[in-house]
Amino acid sequence: MLIAFGRYIVYGLISLALILLARKNWDKLSKSQWITAFTLGFAGNVGYYLFLTSSIYYSGITVSALIVGILPVSLIIVGNIVEKEYSYKSLAVPVALILSGIVTLSLNGADTGVSDDLLMGALLAFISLSLWTYYGIKNARFLKQNPGVSSNSWSLLIGVCCLIQSLIALPILAIFTNALDFSPSTENNYLAEIIAACLFLGIVVSWLATILWNQASRHLPVTLAGQRSCC
């Protein structure tokens, strides 16, 4: 959870800095657009990653990867229900190939997680899967319906929302867990590694990846973009 919050604090700070440097008039964004950004910031970023990491903690990597790995398929099916771009017969082969690949990788992967509560881990993984499926479809529809909002600007706006959410949640994490205990007597004495992970995840996997995903979502049907999300 500490890495999750750190990741999105980095993402949010970069977004805030770029907004201030660009000096764009963000007052033009409506209240509903800010609410949408806040919702998607949680569904596709903070909430998704928190539930995913919690799932790995409870059930291990194999179970979590198997469930969340269904994401490309859920985007294909639900996205096609929303946009109705293709016949389901034409989607049967790609869905079957993706599912077979997910199962093969998951069953042959080395599980280094702690499998002390498979049911709880599976439930958290399904919540994570549902959140990102909602994010992928809702985000694509917003971008297509709002051509005046650029992919980069939307990424920055979501980043600021992620920053707000992380700053609200981080004190709660500090109170109810020992995740912020970096004393030498604990096993959490990996501050440098955690900071490096947060920087990489926040800059590359969150900020840059969100811009690229926004561009793909704007120009591609969700059904096609979903197939590429398995990468």
Domain limits for position 47: 2-15+31-228
Return all residues near 135 (Cβ < 8 A) that are at least 6 apart. Answer: 40, 43, 44, 45, 48
Query: Rounded to whole angstroms, how far apart are CA atoms 46 and 11?
Result: 11
- Nearest one of 79, 70, 73 to 223, comparing CA atoms: 79
Closest C-alpha among 154, 168, 162 to residue 26: 154
Please check whether residue 25 lies inside any domain of the structure: no
Q: What is residue 99's predicted lDDT score, i.e. its pLDDT?
A: 80
Give the model's pLDDT for residue 142: 94
Please choose, from the candidates 217, 10, 218, the residue with its C-alpha nearest in 3D space to the C-alpha of residue 227: 217
Task: Indicate whether 26 belongs to any domain.
Answer: no
Residue 191 lies inside a defined structural domain of this protein: yes
The residues, any chain, with a CB within 8 Å of residue 196's CB and separated by 6 or more, are none
What SS3 class is residue 44?
Answer: helix
138 in a structural domain = yes
In the chain, the number of structural domains is 1
Task: Confirm whether 24 is domain-assigned.
Answer: no
Residue 39 belongs to a domain: yes
The answer to whether the CB of 160 falls within 8 A of the CB of 26 is: no
Look at residue 115 and tell me if it is in a domain: yes
* pTM summary value: 0.83
Report whether 64 contacts 180 (CB < 8 A).
no
Could you tell me the mean pLDDT of each successive run of 10 residues in the chain, 231 residues long? Answer: 86 92 70 93 92 88 85 85 77 81 68 66 94 94 90 92 91 66 54 89 93 89 67 43
Answer yes or no: is 216 within a domain: yes
